[in-house]
A and B are shown apart, each in its own frame.
Chain A
């Protein structure tokens, strides 16, 4: 199975007041058609930059400084803005955390969903409107005919997220990047939106990158997981392996900090300490200062990814000690 998306050795720099700083280092992963991958990490771990770089949607002062991204045969890393505009929408599209802020407040929902169709497919006003209507039905918005002419403020949070998904899917992309799509929604709506994404995957063969810090979301939806810490992928592999038998102390800490495993009434386990900031990342393993099994060798060199099982890779050289200690 050839990959729809292939990211290799991606490096991203953020330029601050005192020069460029490495925010994402040597990130590599592949994604096949129809596959759902969870990209997990804390705030500042580089997961959002990584997923945005797939469509080269990085903010000013943030630049890809190394590596390659190939999406459905397009070398994203080498394309001009003009070429990128033909990929964004018809090949890959993105949905965001805050649907309220990501919809234009002075444009009707119908026009916002129809706009990409008109641009990329040169559809007529009527054709685009018909497509927008179908999309509203597809994402589960009742009464699409009157909804088309409403403005975002007339929609609820969950409905806005559905509308944003409809706009993202308007040109039938093959990859959907979902950057914390459910974080701003309440729990019941969250489950509906995740359900919707999975249904769309099944009906359209859509590949999805789901960026989240919520392991529960990952365990409900993804086939693959990549865990990021301080700008690197520290563990990746099939979901059951990564979440069921974590092979990196950071992943293990994340899994242990989830509610459900422990004795009711006791405090949830937390990982002590804070992740390092952009400017003070240690030379060796970035997790070493917080790691229960770190030793002096961890602090000198960045550990390479090694295999811990079929398609399961970890950046901890001491991963075999983990299961035993837990």
Chain B
């Protein structure tokens, strides 16, 4: 390609994913402004109010506005997704890069630990750790850090194994670059794309896991507005007040869709094949 080559076009999936995700972020940030009611305001005059004015998505068994709770819940769920992915991402990428680049005993030990973690079903291991640590968002993040890094480590290690013998790494050595500089400035930026793509789809898994764990009572505690918790609370009213479970469920699906599209679009844009 010559100077002034056209910039790569954004794939439609990337645009759509970005739009949905950013919309959720905006809604979450503006929840205080746009939510019609405070999320934890009990209204005994409007218990299990069906969707309609003034409660557009209905109210729950305490008369709390479902729409307002979904908007405020977006904050918790986005936080869970982003922090819950960021911590394992940083740990996994670091360990994977070091293991892949240096190989030898470090690599062998790390890969055996990874095999052990991978041998357990992900969600089961996650819940086991949370139960041991005690319920709450903090335990959830710690458990994710302990369990989630393996995928990133494996992805980055595989890339680094290839890239460490790339010619531009040899060229870097021929100019006297230190090992650390070569690894962080030259190997990692070329190795990280699959991990970034996976992180986007991992956000979906983590939010779903967080909701599942809140649903089971080990995550976010009532009365905090969180989608998984809302679904769980609405379960006993599913035949009388379907809106209590349906709308948080739809919100969850929409957020997951946003991140999934983002992951697909990024994969296409960055040329990562899955």
Contact = CB atoms under 8 A, between A and B. Distances in A.
B is a partner of A:
yes
A85 B177 CA distance: 6
Contact of A154 (B3, B167, B171, B173): B3
Given A98-B167, A104-B168, A104-B186, A168 B175 contact: yes
Interface string A146-177: 11001001101000000010011011000000
Given A101-B166, A104-B168, A104-B190, A57 B177 contact: no
B177 A93 contact: no
Contacts of B166: 101
A105 B175 contact: no
A94 interface: yes
Interface in B156-182: 166-168, 170-179, 181
A116 B176 contact: yes
Contacts of A167: 171, 175
A170 B175 CA distance: 9
| B: contact size bracket | 20 to 34
A297 interface: no
Given A87-B176, A115-B177, A96 B3 contact: no
Contacts of B172: 104
Contacts of A98: 167
A120 B178 CA distance: 11
Given A150-B3, A153-B1, A154-B5, A102 B167 contact: yes
Contacts, number: 78
A171 B176 CA distance: 11
B176 A57 contact: no
A258 interface: no
A55 interface: yes
Contact of A116 (B2, B170, B175, B179): B175
Contacts of A104: 168, 172, 186, 189-190
A10 interface: no
Q: Which has the most chain A C-beta neighbours within 10 Å: B2, B166, B177, B178?
A: B177
Given A115-B177, A154-B5, A105 B171 contact: no
Interface string A84-122: 111111100110101001111111000000011001100
Interface string B61-75: 000000000000000
B175 A115 contact: yes
- Which 10 residue pairs are nearest across A and B when measured between Cβ atoms? A88-B176, A101-B167, A89-B176, A94-B174, A85-B176, A102-B171, A102-B167, A116-B175, A104-B168, A89-B175
Interface of A: 55, 57, 81, 84-90, 93-94, 96, 98, 101-107, 115-116, 119-120, 143, 146-147, 150, 153-154, 156, 164, 167-168, 170-171
Given A150-B3, A154-B5, 14 more contacts: A85-B178, A89-B175, A94-B171, A94-B174, A96-B167, A101-B168, A102-B168, A103-B171, A104-B190, A116-B176, A119-B175, A154-B1, A167-B175, A170-B175
